[in-house]
Structure 1
């Protein structure tokens, strides 16, 4: 098992803090915002192990209510969105039979949170390149201020999460038949509200589950038999959230 992060010291501390007696955990430095980092790690793991069984894509940049979207959107999209598509490109081809690739997203990642005039930007995209193109167009519109005059939501998390789910859907459309035949599950996952410092910036999350408690729903998708209805979808607590 590999635990990754962009800071070598924090990765080492996290590995050391894990309880003894379980799976062997190795730390690896991975900054998904660096264009070639995911591919390099995927190559190393393929050389060591021949493939991968489970991938969680959970990199996220923290943003608060006081942050100016124009100032943060470039770095935000680089981590949340381009980081996601880099992981998908690098690791999906390495999945073994019965594998799982789960992208942690949000219930905001559905088209109902976007103005109908913008739905075509993310609906029925056929490749990760197309997803990246649409995310870049949104990022540029936020950065130059033109998004304010349009129909884009002011909360950058919404288009970003929709972009993540669109990426899963685009890749799933390409891989569906082969993956289902091999028992592979590729899906986006909403873990629900969690009690984290980032959530507390926006909402009262004091009664929400801890990250460890919220992780159970993700682990259920890993250890239970793959449900074909979940494939390529956004799943929350075992149920599919409608895309449209």
Structure 2
């Protein structure tokens, strides 16, 4: 029996990933649809077309420091482990949001929420498991001033990544922005990709032996209301269309060269 979980799954890409997994898996399999609002979670579960895997709703607010560990423990008790995890929870920002005002909540969800998910669910991965964090091609050092690169290349643990994100957050709040880009998505996405790289490096030999893939993924531009605040997305793929490449990565045989990397449409996007 395959067990899968998607965070941030009540709308957009997360909802499309749940539906795609349910359609591709068998009735004996389970897909957990999670979010931070239980009413929205249950509404999303009820919107599923039926057929394929069972879709179960669970509360998971990644900003809650203990929530990921609690749910991981529950899944361990129910199923003994997990096969597919998509980390898709994100706090969205608009052009009118003041980065200094949102810095605490933004990093709590997008970055510390990601590292909490990695810590909680990586130990539960069964043989041939997948742990995929939805990031962006903005999450590469190409978008960051060279003087800042070592902030994300020298850490060797998730704790050290968290320290660098906290340092950036505090500099942002105190207006000590220096060489940091004004668009907060860039350092945040780089932090997510760096966290995946660090965890994958720690586990690489055993993961490859067991057929496990840990990676970050870029779905490309998606036609959503939030993206439309920043760019013209009128011709961009729908969430369901964007989900296809991510589902393929989760369900197709592992390519060792993808381990620890940022993958877009099946190809590695170099970190530096």
Give the distance between the partners of 1:22 and 1:220, measured in 2 at CA: 17
Q: Does 1:180 align with 2:208?
A: yes
Residues 26-68 of structure 1, C-alpha deviations (whole Å, 9 max, x = no match): 0000000010000000000000000000000000001001111
Which residue number corresponds to residue 18 of structure 2?
none
Give the distance between the partners of 1:145 and 1:125, measured in 2 at CA: 24
Give the distance between the partners of 2:92 and 2:200, measured in 1 at CA: 27
The residue correspondences of 1:116-135 to structure 2 (distance < 5 A) are 116-135=146-165
The residue correspondences of 1:199-214 to structure 2 (distance < 5 A) are 199-214=227-242
Give the distance between the partners of 2:67 and 2:142, measured in 1 at CA: 34
DSSP-derived class of the 1:61 partner: coil
Give the distance between the partners of 1:228 and 1:22, measured in 2 at CA: 29
Q: Does 1:90 align with 2:120?
A: yes
TM-score in terms of structure 1 length: 0.98
The residue correspondences of 1:151-166 to structure 2 (distance < 5 A) are 151-166=179-194
The residue correspondences of 1:25-40 to structure 2 (distance < 5 A) are 25-40=55-70
- Structure 1 runs, 4 residues or longer, greater than 2 Å off: none
Give the distance between the partners of 1:74 and 1:112, measured in 2 at CA: 25
Which residue number corresponds to residue 269 of structure 2?
241
Give the distance between the partners of 2:93 and 2:186, measured in 1 at CA: 12
Which residue number corresponds to residue 193 of structure 1?
221
Give the distance between the partners of 1:202 and 1:53, measured in 2 at CA: 35
Which residue number corresponds to residue 110 of structure 1?
140
Which residue number corresponds to residue 8 of structure 1?
38
Q: Does 1:231 align with 2:259?
A: yes
Give the distance between the partners of 1:153 and 1:145, measured in 2 at CA: 12
Q: Which of the residues 237, 244, 247 maps onto 1:216?
A: 244
Which residue number corresponds to residue 42 of structure 1?
72
Q: Which of the residues 136, 141, 144 maps onto 2:171?
A: 141
Residues 94-147 of structure 1, C-alpha deviations (whole Å, 9 max, x = no match): 000000000000000001100000000001421000000000000001111111
TM-score in terms of structure 2 length: 0.88
Which residue number corresponds to residue 81 of structure 1?
111
Q: Is the 8 A contact 1:124 1:170 kept in 2?
A: no
